[in-house]
Structure 1
């Protein structure tokens, strides 16, 4: 006989409705349904919340206020925006649920993704956390005053990383090296950063090899436009700051 204690049973979610027929609306509806939640949708904009206890808006940021205004009083109303505060959802009791991931389509796997939550009341915040837990996401709270900084961090981590890799791709192409050859290097660097932060930094800046950095800069200046050289210079300066942090981390670790 198995005498191990069973995992605590989670209370079922209230009736949910999803508004927004784009990628996130489809993915969220499917994932909630697969998790056994009672969910309708995805509905089009203008849905009034009939039959739902919670309405989740998966619409563009500029459409949140109008979509919230269309919901009749009664249900809690939430949005799935990273940058937007809870203010456009007033006067509803409000929550937000932002999966910190790229959602390419309705079959996107949400389980395991980080998720920023917020609520205008303790009940709303707890409910946002319960929805995230049902979906298998790892929730963390972000206050309204921190939304812009949080979303900027996400943009740097995902979108700006693409700009950096595009610079690397252009330089590699000038030497006859395909983009695919850079991918394993970038992947390992990202994994090491995740594990170790600034201590993971390697390369000529981390070693203090100014001569190599100077030769690199000459190559960029010769082969790419001035805008790329400016980006290289800015990234070099930023990497020097990371290297200084790395030195502090390593010194602290050996103290």
Structure 2
């Protein structure tokens, strides 16, 4: 390794899913050589043709055996069994770098590979992926959660260098907080999509179109304000303590979609808590809003 950069590596991608194919393409653009990828579904084959042209599609054991850097971009539940199987097939060797992309796990699932002398890393891009070419550009400026073995400064440095080569900013995530780190990201990103789609569908039920165009500036501003100003960005009837409006919202939502009314109630209760803690909502007003949320 020179000047904090890993040498040009032969990269093996297991498998060519949305994340694996994109990271492989990004590392190839940084000068590494993708030696092989695995993928059997029609989507994986098509994705590899677009993002990893001329890269041979091979079985996972052949991909891992031939690579200097083995990227295991598989679902969380598949990872432990895959590592165990590849280790049992003698696919790992001392000096290899073995990386997985699971957000909730550190290097512990890589223990069977670590026992064979590899350098284990967990690299989790804090980004949503579609598996298309634009995802490679989106890596620029995003963050990557990096975890290496405790006390392994060489590992941490290699992980950070690999993240930088993706165009991303590395953030060190200790092993023991990976589950909480991932829960936070999933809560924000995944539930944001759910919230936005609920909003759009309610407008469409009311006959208000184009719903996406109507809410895009509002939601973009709300996200920007939340990131810039924290809880001080809270607005709306709950944060203002407008009890009558909250009551009306609960009524029309219960008539339209009872399940969504329950979601609104849960989020409103959380908003009361945040607004009160931030000093935006006086105690007596917060009590009135909570009373409505509990009684309706």
TM range (shorter): 0.7 to 0.9
**Aligned partners of 2:8, 2:79: CA distance in 1, in Å?**
22
3-state SS of paired residue (1:47): helix
Asked if 1:116 corresponds to 2:111, the answer is no
**Aligned partners of 2:144, 2:240: CA distance in 1, in Å?**
37
**Aligned partners of 1:25, 1:171: CA distance in 2, in Å?**
36
Asked if 1:165 corresponds to 2:190, the answer is no
3-state SS of paired residue (1:139): strand
Alignment of 1:1-255 (within 5 A): 11-17=5-11, 18-43=13-38, 44-47=59-62, 49-69=64-84, 70=86, 71-74=91-94, 75-91=96-112, 92=114, 93-107=119-133, 108=135, 109=137, 110-120=139-149, 121-178=152-209, 179-180=211-212, 181-224=214-257, 226-247=258-279
**Aligned partners of 1:205, 1:240: CA distance in 2, in Å?**
6
Is there any run of 5+ residues in structure 2 with no aligned partner, and where?
Answer: 39-58, 282-296
Q: Provide the TM-score with structure 2 as the length reference.
A: 0.74
**Aligned partners of 2:72, 2:109: CA distance in 1, in Å?**
11
Following superposition, the deviation at residue 116 of structure 1 comes to: 0.4
Q: Deviations over 1:149-172 (max 9, x none)?
A: 111111111111122223322332
**Aligned partners of 2:234, 2:92: CA distance in 1, in Å?**
53
**Aligned partners of 1:126, 1:157: CA distance in 2, in Å?**
28
1:89–1:14 Cα change, 3 Å: farther
Following superposition, the deviation at residue 13 of structure 1 comes to: 3.3
Is there any run of 5+ residues in structure 1 with no aligned partner, and where?
Answer: 1-7, 250-255
Following superposition, the deviation at residue 111 of structure 1 comes to: 1.2
- Contact persistence 2:69–2:98 (CA under 8 A): yes
Q: Provide the TM-score with structure 1 as the length reference.
A: 0.85
Q: Deviations over 1:180-208 (max 9, x none)?
A: 11222111111111111111111111222
**Aligned partners of 2:202, 2:66: CA distance in 1, in Å?**
56
